[in-house]
């Protein structure tokens, strides 16, 4: 089955053709990074307008690169949640129009589930596994029992991990987007230069939950001290110390989840899964079987949407033309053991 995937939930405008949920025939990703750079963050209104300009060209290119036409396609999979509503609506409306015109079925896909599917485009991974989803919008530790069966163990109680990276980078003037830049700076810094603690969680919050707001504030307050005391600021040391605290917070919870559930297969996904310290920490950990998607499949892309979409469409699942875009994740089971 050939599935055309469409992804426009944030600032990447992407389309892909994937065969049987596995073989990527094309994966066109047009990023708006340069457009949002002057604002040091994604401006939702500009993002959706840009998607409107780009979407038909991106879809056409994905079909051309795969040497297919819409007549060859068996179904269309499109992200319809979660994300920026205006941006999601562009991809979703385009997919509906294409479905209506071509008579091909379409299905709305949850972006988070797709991130956790991404690694499977490159190798076979047996269920169940622990899913570590770390992106600009979400931080979720889960048990994944099937492509559509995700049980959440822990989430962030405030900022997402990637969001903390982006905010720290913005405050220090490191540039945009922050995650990759901090990762690069950190490689040249001393992670022991500053001691940014893992804020212990309040009573009632779950032990697999994380919190990035306290860490972000501590790192930002450090800059104010530089101003007051006139210290020479060391971007590399700040980056390395922040990164160590941000990633260790995550891996500490994950290792606990591995111990508690007895599941040692771990699949990562989302933009922060591209982080070198996270990759190193998990790849060097004994007793864990870790799967990272390649860099291009960590950040937003339509191949993961087409990949997971195949499984829904093969089962006969379809979305109707009145399906809408949603800003939140849906369909997860929540269980706090």
Report how far residue 181's alpha carbon sits from residue 28's, in angstroms, rounded to the nearest whole number: 24
Task: Tell whether residue 94 is a contact of ligand KG4 (CB under 6 A).
Answer: no
Q: How far is the CB of 169 from ligand KG4 (least distance, A)?
A: 8
Q: How far is the CB of 314 from ligand KG4 (least distance, A)?
A: 25
**Which of ligand KG4, Zn ion, none lies near 178, with the C-beta cut-off 5 to 8 A by kind?**
ligand KG4
Task: Tell whether residue 11 is a contact of Zn ion (CB under 5 A).
Answer: no
| 106 alpha-carbon distance from chain centroid | 23
DSSP state of 328: S
Q: How far is the CB of 146 from ligand KG4 (least distance, A)?
A: 22
Q: How far is the CB of 91 from ligand KG4 (least distance, A)?
A: 14
Task: Tell whether residue 300 is a contact of Zn ion (CB under 5 A).
Answer: yes
Listing from the earlier edge strand, what are the strands of the sheet with 289-291? 289-291, 265-269, 129-134, 139-146, 149-155, 333-334
Which residue among 2, 3, 4, 10 contacts ligand KG4 (CB under 6 A)? 10
How many other CB atoms sit within 10 Å of the CB of residue 97?
Answer: 13
Find all residues with CB under 8 Å of 14, minimum gap 6, and list them.
5, 6, 7, 8, 27, 28, 29, 30, 58, 300, 301, 302, 303
- Please, which residues bridge with residue 291 across strands? 267
Report how far residue 25's alpha carbon sits from residue 17's, in angstroms, rounded to the nearest whole number: 5
**Which of ligand KG4, Zn ion, none lies near 179, with the C-beta cut-off 5 to 8 A by kind?**
ligand KG4
Considering the complex, state which of residue 63 and residue 300 has its C-beta at the smaller distance from ligand KG4: 300
Strands (E), 53-173: 75-81, 106-110, 129-134, 139-146, 149-155
Site for ligand KG4 in 165-194 (CB under 6 A): 165-166, 177-180, 183
Q: How far is the CB of 293 from Zn ion (least distance, A)?
A: 12
**Which of ligand KG4, Zn ion, none lies near 80, with the C-beta cut-off 5 to 8 A by kind?**
none
Find all residues with CB under 8 Å of 305, minimum gap 6, and list them.
5, 6, 7, 16, 77, 78, 79, 109, 111, 114
Give the contact letters, 25-64, x = binds to ligand KG4 (CB under 6 A), - = no: ----------------------------------------
Indicate the Cα dihedral angle 243, 247, 248, 249, nearest 10°: 110
Q: Are 116 and 144 a contacting pair, CB within 8 Å?
A: yes
Q: How far is the CB of 112 from Zn ion (least distance, A)?
A: 8
Half-sphere exposure of 252 (CA within 13 A, CB side): 14
- Total residues interacting with Zn ion, rule: CB under 5 A: 2
Q: How far is the CB of 136 from Zn ion (least distance, A)?
A: 7
Stretch that binds ligand KG4, among 122-130, 233-241, 268-276, 312-320 (CB under 6 A): 268-276
**Which of Zn ion, ligand KG4, none lies near 6, with the C-beta cut-off 5 to 8 A by kind?**
none
Considering the complex, state which of residue 87 and residue 319 has its C-beta at the smaller distance from Zn ion: 87
Angle at 219 between CA 181 and CA 142, to 5 degrees: 75
Site for ligand KG4 in 111-170 (CB under 6 A): 135-137, 162-163, 165-166
Task: Tell whether residue 212 is a contact of ligand KG4 (CB under 6 A).
Answer: no
Q: How far is the CB of 297 from ligand KG4 (least distance, A)?
A: 10
Q: How far apart are the first and last CA of the chain?
A: 39
Strand 23-31 relative to strand 106-110, pairing? unpaired
Task: Tell whether residue 135 is a contact of Zn ion (CB under 5 A).
Answer: yes
Residues that bind Zn ion (CB under 5 A): 135, 300
Q: Which residues bind ligand KG4 (CB under 6 A)?
A: 10, 135-137, 162-163, 165-166, 177-180, 183, 270-272, 274-275, 299-300
């Amino acid at each position: 089955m050939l599935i055309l995937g469409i992804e426009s939930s944030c600032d990447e405008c992407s389309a892909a053709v994937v065969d049987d949920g596995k073989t990527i025939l094309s994966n066109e990703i047009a990023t708006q990074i340069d457009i949002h750079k002057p604002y040091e963050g994604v401006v939702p209104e500009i993002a959706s307008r840009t998607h409107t300009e780009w979407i038909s060209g991106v879809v056409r290119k994905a079909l051309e690169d795969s040497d297919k036409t819409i007549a060859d396609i068996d179904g269309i999979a499109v992200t319809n949640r979660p994300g920026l509503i205006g941006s999601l609506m562009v991809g979703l409306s385009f997919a509906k129009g294409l479905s209506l015109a071509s008579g091909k079925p379409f299905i709305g896909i949850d972006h988070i589930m797709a991130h956790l599917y991404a690694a499977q485009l490159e190798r076979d991974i047996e269920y169940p596994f622990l899913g570590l989803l770390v992106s600009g919008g979400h931080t979720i530790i889960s048990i994944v029992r099937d492509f559509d069966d995700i049980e959440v163990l822990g989430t962030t109680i405030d900022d997402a991990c990637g969001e903390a990276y982006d905010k720290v980078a913005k405050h220090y003037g490191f540039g945009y987007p922050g995650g990759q830049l901090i990762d690069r700076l950190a490689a040249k810094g001393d992670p022991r230069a500053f001691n940014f603690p893992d804020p212990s969680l309040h009573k009632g919050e779950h032990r697999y939950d994380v919190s990035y707001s306290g860490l972000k504030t501590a790192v930002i307050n450090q800059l104010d001290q530089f101003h007051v005391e006139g210290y020479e600021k060391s971007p590399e040391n700040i980056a390395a110390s922040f990164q160590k605290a941000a990633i260790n917070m995550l891996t500490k919870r994950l290792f606990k989840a591995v111990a508690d559930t007895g599941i040692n297969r771990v699949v990562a996904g989302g933009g922060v899964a591209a982080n070198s310290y996270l990759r190193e920490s998990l790849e060097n950990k004994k007793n864990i079987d870790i799967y990272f998607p390649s860099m291009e499949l960590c950040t937003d892309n339509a191949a993961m949407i087409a990949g997971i979409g195949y499984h829904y469409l093969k089962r006969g699942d379809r979305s109707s033309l009145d399906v809408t875009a949603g800003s939140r994740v849906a369909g997860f089971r929540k269980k706090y053991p």
